[in-house]
Structure 1
Amino acid sequence: MKHLNYLQYMGRLMLCVAFVLVLAGFTNGCKAQEGQEIHHRITHYRPVSSWEGLEDTDKVTIMGAPSISQEQMVQYILSRNSNPKLNCTLEELVAYYYEEAGSEGVRPDIALCQALKETGFFKYGNDVKAMQNNYCGLGALGNNVPGYSFYSPQRGVRAHIQHLLAYSTTRMPNKELVDPRFMVLVEKYPQYRGAAKYWPDLNGRWAVPGTTYGQDILRLWREAKHFQELEKGLNKALDTAQRQANSVEAWERVYSLAYGDVNYDIAILSIDNILKLDKKNVDAYVKRANIYREWGYNEKALADYDSALSLDKNNYTALSGRAYLYASIQENKKALADYDTLLDINPADTVALYNHGCLLADEGYYNEAMEDLTMVLTLEPDNEIAQQAVDDLRAYLKK
């Protein structure tokens, strides 16, 4: 009996030891996974072009009914791109957005504006191609990674809406799950599930850090609601400039209205005319470079930034734009060189400090990155984006 008790005791002891080992392994595995996620975040912070907070006017919910008709959305898109690259008619694609988003309770007009931002009004030009039916950049991580493809336009729209659903609610989609990133977000990033009530809540989640991502989408949405009035003002200014073809001021007025209206074709046309009249207009080169950068034509943007800096080597706006573009396309060493110049000129530039720190972290210089990021907080103690980066970096360095 004693022998049996001894065996039972040893068996229980071994089970306890095994349980402790499994628990320790599980805990270490969780810590390792957490460490990997933190490392992924601090080495994938993207540069910012400016600081913009969430304003009350931007508290527009992702879930809700449309406020723009399908017909007006079609007209708005055609006013920016008369020949959208699609595998169906524009009217059909807009209808798919209203059908798929409507079935899930997502605002279809604003979701469509997100697609316009991601595709450049269906002109494309970056890694994702029109043939993929991928309207929101699912799986497109940069560095020539094109992301996912969907066999039909409607399926691509459904994947887009379902991905929005993953961020804005905690429920499963009503229709067949086709978003290949839905369960990835649910399982690996549960903190993002249902965390985005308003469109700017996608900042730092859908787009990292994407400090103005949601605001940009809402800007397009507001323009879609009022584009007819905006078009009248732009057409009037364009008519004046064409009658006063040698007036730089007239073309600058056209540029201002066109750029504010996200009508990049007319904005470029106006800058082209300004540079014909004044080949040494540094501001014009920078403005055109900014448009090309936002449009995704990186080589053209770099050429214009270089032209501006050849005329004024310390032009702050040109240096900032080129540094931001270099950082965006992961030309880290070139970006760091430009940010070094910017910080020599203005050591208190918190945008330059933040981007410099993120790039250093991307290169593995964590202590130096921490110096930059903590300096941002010294200058701007309430900067939530920099605080998150500091917290992530501090947590990683403790691993």
Structure 2
Amino acid sequence: MPAIPLRRSRLTGALLLALALPLSAQSPEPEIPAEEAAAETAEADPGLDAAPEASVEPSAPVAATDPVLLDAEILPRASRSLLLDVVRTNAGFFAVGERGHVLVSEDGQAWTQAKVPTRATLTTIATADGVLWAAGHDGVIVHSTDGGQTWTRRRAAPWSYDLVDPSEGVPVMDLLFTDARNGFAIGAYSLMLVTSDGGVTWTPRSVLGGAADDAPAEPEPASDEVAEADDWTFSDDDLMLDAESDPHLNAMARAGSGALVIAGERGTFMRSRDGGETWESKRLPYEGSMFGVLTWEDDHILVFGLRGNVLESRDLGDTWTEVETGITTSLMGGHALPGGGAVLVGANGAILTRPDADTPFTATAYEMGTGETPLLSGVLPVDDAAYLVIGDKGADLYRPK
């Protein structure tokens, strides 16, 4: 059996955890030309300055049928398709997912599909000062300056076998904007992109300033005898998850103190106290991957992920407390409530809620009318009596009993 490249294998794993489509379905697309981006931006929002040049130069010919170049298809059952993230603005709820779907709803029940210039899977959506951004596979980033009525593609960096640049094809996993002009995009292989012009241009930034101060030691290389042995039995040492030199970055948030935090693959945790200019790499006490991070006042943060693991810190990650959840299924999405309250969602319809920071989580399960308990990837409060939940079966309302 031919060997699978480690880098491509890790990326596939990250995409599966993000409920995304296989990389083989993706194909190359260039960044839009700088002059076109400037013209579109000036028309959509005269307050945003035109960028002097494009974020990514075209690196290979692009087929006219490339899915990232094509507009998302308007489908009658899009609201029942795979959805991965959701936000709320004054215009309503916006959910994103597979095939470039962007769905809009005023009440979380009736949904319409927006026209979006990509069919790439969208994994994340963010908003600030009335502007919307969404991002996902092939490094695609789209945005809207008119409340989600029209969307423009601002970046794409697809991968193909003709290219050797390891950053090609890297998906964006999360977006964070501090205002309408300044934002971050993070993703696989420690991808970080920064914009200061409202998403017109994106500049790579390194977050790997050095090894974590408490990172585990590198494993000893295998002996020739072990390497050559035709034995598929793995020891406990073989199965240990070592720290990656370029971990996938899954979630980013801003604490009440203004500090920025990132949670990621294999116990990765990073923080910045200077607006993202420099980053300090730490290790979580749990060595598995974390998929989300919530923040409250001061330096109060909570991370959640694999096997129902939840960790909480009130000093921006200097010390951590393990939070009992009562479940072992992975948690994929969450929302912070006032006073340290939270709602978390995940596999098998899992929903965890707590009204404040001093109350334990209560676990329940969301069940569809068909009896299915879908994998949930996002949640938002609709009112005092209901939550909007999204996942691999689309969007629905959940009313706790």
> Does TM, normalized by the shorter one, top 0.5?
no
Q: Which has the higher helix share?
A: 1
**Greater gyration radius:** 1
Structure with more contact order per residue of length (Cα contacts < 8 Å, sep ≥ 6): 1
| Structure with the higher fraction of residues in strand conformation | 2
